[in-house]
Amino acid sequence: MKKIDRYILSKYFTTFFFCLILFTTIAVVIDISEKTEDFTRSGLSAKRIFLDYYLGFIPHIDAMLFPLFVFISVIFFTSKMAGRSEVVAILSSGISFKRFLLPFAVGGFVLTFLLWSGNQFLIPKANEKWATFEKKYTNRSVAATLQQSSYKQNVYFRLDANTYASIKGYDTISRSGTNLSIHKIENNKLTYNLRAMNFIWDTIKQKWSLSNVLERFVDSTSERNVFTQKKLMKYSFKPIDLRKDDYLKDQMTSSELNDFIKLERMRGSEMLNTLEVEQHNRNAIPVSVFILTLIGAILSSKKVRGGSGFHLALGVVISVLYILMSRFTIVFATRGNFTPWIAAWLPNFCFGLLTIYLYKKAPK
């Protein structure tokens, strides 16, 4: 690594982390000003609020704005270099424009990997911490809505290729329900049926505890009925699968999300597209950090009359276009028939082509 590489990378990371800290501080201050009354009403100490809320809120907001922070940082320090004729001096020394972009690519790759790693485990856990606190203490309208909608009625889903389940009523808070039915069908014939008057999740044994259970075993020549007062059963669904929370996908680690998608695909769930978009976005959004880094470096390396102000304005416009395109494709995927992986990766593909175009047109 040459001295110029260390210089650019130090500028890159220093500016990025300064931007990250600055905007995070602003976001926290604004959030505190909006929720001061809620925090006071909760009766919690400042330490408890920080540990239970802001340790989740800060990673949540930083992950959401991470690509924007990177883009602004690259544009800011690169335009400063161009304004001081440092870029001209570097290129005049015999270094090619492609070689000049190498440290930007390395820095973009490092931050891409950082965001990707966070998306797999850290950010979902932070979302869970932040959302739980907000539902309980700050957003009372949401809490009331969740309380009213915590009781699910007439739930139907598929357990495997031949087994189906139906639930008349289920309370997501107490994790208990009434009238559970399990039907197993083979060769278009009912071979097994279970009916339980009540059921509840056993947190210790990680199984469903059924009461007043009637089982029917049916074969080609006979039928056998077995009644059991109490019965522990292990099924492929768990309490988390019955919540049907619109924000549940954001609070799952990638391994949990992958397992949940497999179950929902087997059940033919209507929310499958939404889950798959979230799955692909966790890989696609970090890649946008790398792409936006190169776009920012290419655009800002040219000295212009407007200076860094012009470059920053152009960067904001490009960021808005990227966000709008990403939102549109997600809506088409979740509300229409747009393929989820295309919806997640299409903005990166389009802006990747833009990166190649800008590189070809950049003065070298």
Map out the domains of the chain with their CATH numbers: 3-141+272-361 (no CATH), 160-235 (2.30.30)
Residue 67 to residues 57, 64, 282, 341, Cα–Cα distance (Å)? 17, 8, 13, 19
**Reduced 3-state DSSP string for the chain:** CCHHHHHHHHHHHHHHHHHHHHHHHHHHHHHHHHHHHHHHHHCCCHHHHHHHHHHHHHHHHHHHHHHHHHHHHHHHHHHHHHHCCHHHHHHHCCCCHHHHHHHHHHHHHHHHHHHHHHHHHHHHHHHHHHHHHHHHHHCHHHHHHHHHCCEEEEEEEECCCCEEEEEEEEECCCCEEEEEEEEEEECCEEEEEEEEEEEEEECCCCEEEEEEEEEEEECCCCEEEEEEEEEEECCCCCHHHHCCCCCHHHHCCHHHHHHHHHHHHHHCCCCHHHHHHHHHHHHHHHHHHHHHHHHHHHHHCCCCCCHHHHHHHHHHHHHHHHHHHHHHHHHHHHHCCCCHHHHHHHHHHHHHHHHHHHHHHCCC
pLDDT in the model for residue 247: 67
pLDDT in the model for residue 184: 93
Cα 331 vs. chain centroid, distance in angstroms?
Answer: 15
State which amino acid sits at residue 40: T
Specify the long-range contacts of residues 308-311, CB closer than 8 Å, at least 24 apart: 308/75, 308/76, 308/79, 308/80, 308/83, 311/75, 311/76, 311/78, 311/79
pLDDT in the model for residue 332: 78
pLDDT in the model for residue 120: 92
Joined tokens for residue 224: 């056998």
Contact of 209 with 202, CB cutoff 8 Å = yes
pLDDT in the model for residue 26: 92
What is the distance in angstroms between the CA of the first residue and the CA of the last residue of the chain? Answer: 22
pLDDT in the model for residue 194: 94
Cα 179 vs. chain centroid, distance in angstroms?
Answer: 35
**Spatial distance between the Cα atoms of 270 and 275, rounded to a whole number of angstroms:** 10
How confident is the chain (364 residues) per 10-residue block, as mean pLDDT? 87 93 92 87 86 90 90 89 86 88 94 94 89 73 50 82 89 89 90 94 92 91 90 87 72 88 76 87 93 90 69 76 83 79 91 90 74
Q: Which residues contact 350 (CB under 8 A, 6 or more apart)?
A: 325
Contact of 164 with 287, CB cutoff 8 Å = no
Joined tokens for residue 309: 């102000």
Nearest CA-CA partner of 246 in 218, 275, 267: 275
